[in-house]
Amino acid sequence: MRTQVAIVGAGPAGLLLSHLLHLRGIDSVVLERRSETYVQERVRAGLLEQGTTDLLREAGVGAGLDREGIVHEGLRLCFDRTMHRIPLTELTGRHVTVYGQQKVVRDLIAARRADGGAVHFEVDDVTVSGIEEDSPVLRATIDGRQVEIDCDFVAGCDGSHGICRDRISAGHARTYEYTYPFGWLGILAEVAPSTDELIYAFHDNGFALHSLRSAEVSRLYLQVDPDEPIENWPDDRIWSELQTRLGTDDGFALREGPIIDKSITPVRSFVTEPMQYGRLFLAGDAAHIVPPTGAKGLNLAVADVRVLAEAFDDWYARGRSQALDGYSDTCLRRVWRAQDFSYWMTSMLHRMPGDSGVQARMQLSRLRYVVESPAAARSLAENYVGYAPG
């Protein structure tokens, strides 16, 4: 098998990259170790920056987004039993949209299939070699048959547990990692959302977040011990804690309903630097992980592949390598800005284990400053809707 760009991973980064390359007349093959059903149904992020939605529409995969996406022009900070609104669009001229990652993946798979794209699921034994040379080779088992794929470049879009990150990290990159002392318990509930905009809550018991997925499905989170068994959180306890942490004195009422999915996820930061070595380029979670508080993970992946697709186009259409050579530097400026913003949001809203009360008082002071100072509110809003360093 021969292709120009071999892509490992059929998440949003790999699928969108393949689609963007197709629009530029560049061949690609996508290899994914999971099943198509798993990829389309796994619960992931759902908040899209305007830059992300603009790119999806430009690429011709925005029909579902326009039909089902929920535009948010603000968000709410809840503390001292009071809701405080940050008017994102008023402050920045931009907005965010709730549209689940599963739906983004569904739309991209449909687009690649309609275009005759080569996307293979349940691929085993993938190895990458020759990235130091001009002709990398991927070897894999596809539909029970051993296949060798010759290519010009490899794009590692296979997430934090994939093979491509290790291929670069083995002596060719430095990694930066920080694990927070708490996790997020996330649930999906079959109940109409109790809010029309996301609510970020700071409480003595810990952080809580009320998000949404559709007019009928709510997405909510609780700060918990990262090692706590999910069995310790029966549905009644989850709703009781959400009622407590999201409780206000200004009329907010939290709706409850059947919980259809729940899991506990660690909160951490991770960056591989550089994001490229030889003819291998990392994108999305393969290169960086951010705390979910700032809603940056999926948006960073989209930003990565936008840069990478344009760099490949510059190579194939004009024979220029400058954009490919500068891929890491271009992406990492945005990645580190997102890391800093996510850390700031996380440290402002989560109760820290072992805090004697001093840090909590400072967090409350910071929250009050954000909602009282137009400059502080604008800084939060600018980062939240998607800041792109020059």
Strand bridging mode 96-98 / 70-72: antiparallel
Pairing of strands 153-156, 174-189: unpaired
- CA within 13 Å, CB half, 243: 10
Tell me which of 296, 316, 327, 350 is the catalytic residue: 296
Does the annotation mark 103 as catalytic? Answer: no
Clarify whether 296 is annotated catalytic.
Answer: yes
- Distance between CA atoms of 193 and 216, rounded to whole angstroms? 7
Based on the number of CB atoms within 10 Å of its own CB, is 304 exposed (0-12), middle (13-18) or buried (19 or more)?
Answer: buried
CB atoms within 10 A of CB 344: 17
Which of these is catalytic: 19, 22, 72, 203?
72
| Residue 387: exposure state from Cβ atoms within 10 A (0-12, 13-18, ≥19) | middle
292 catalytic residue (yes or no): yes
Question: Annotated catalytic residue: which of 292, 316, 327, 350?
Answer: 292
Q: Is 262 a catalytic residue?
A: no
Give the phi and the psi of residue 147 in degrees, each rounded to 5.
Answer: -130, 145
Query: Of 200, 277, 316, 327, which residue is the catalytic one?
Result: 200
CA-closest candidate to residue 117, choices 12, 23, 13, 11: 23
The answer to whether residue 72 is catalytic is yes
Are residues 162 and 187 in contact, defined by beta-carbon separation less than 8 angstroms?
A: no
Catalytically active residues are 72, 200, 292, 296, 384
